[in-house]
Amino acid sequence: MMTASMDDYEAEYHLTRDGWVIGSYYFFGRRLGIASVRPTGTYETWLRHATCRAEHCEENTYWSRFWKNDLFDEQELRRFRDAKGWPPDDAHLPLHDSLPCSRLLEAVEDPPSPAS
| Residue 50: strand pairing partners | 9, 61
Compute the distance between CA of residue 116 and CA of residue 102 in angstroms, rounded to an integer: 33
- Condensed to tens digits (0 to 9), the pLDDT of residues 36-90 reads 889 999 999 999 888 877 666 677 888 999 899 999 999 999 999 999 988 887 6
> What's at 86, amino acid-wise?
W
Contacts of 71 (CB under 8 A, 6+ apart): none
Per DSSP, helices labelled H in the chain are 74-84, 95-98, 101-105
Question: Between 3 and 75, whose confidence is greater?
Answer: 75
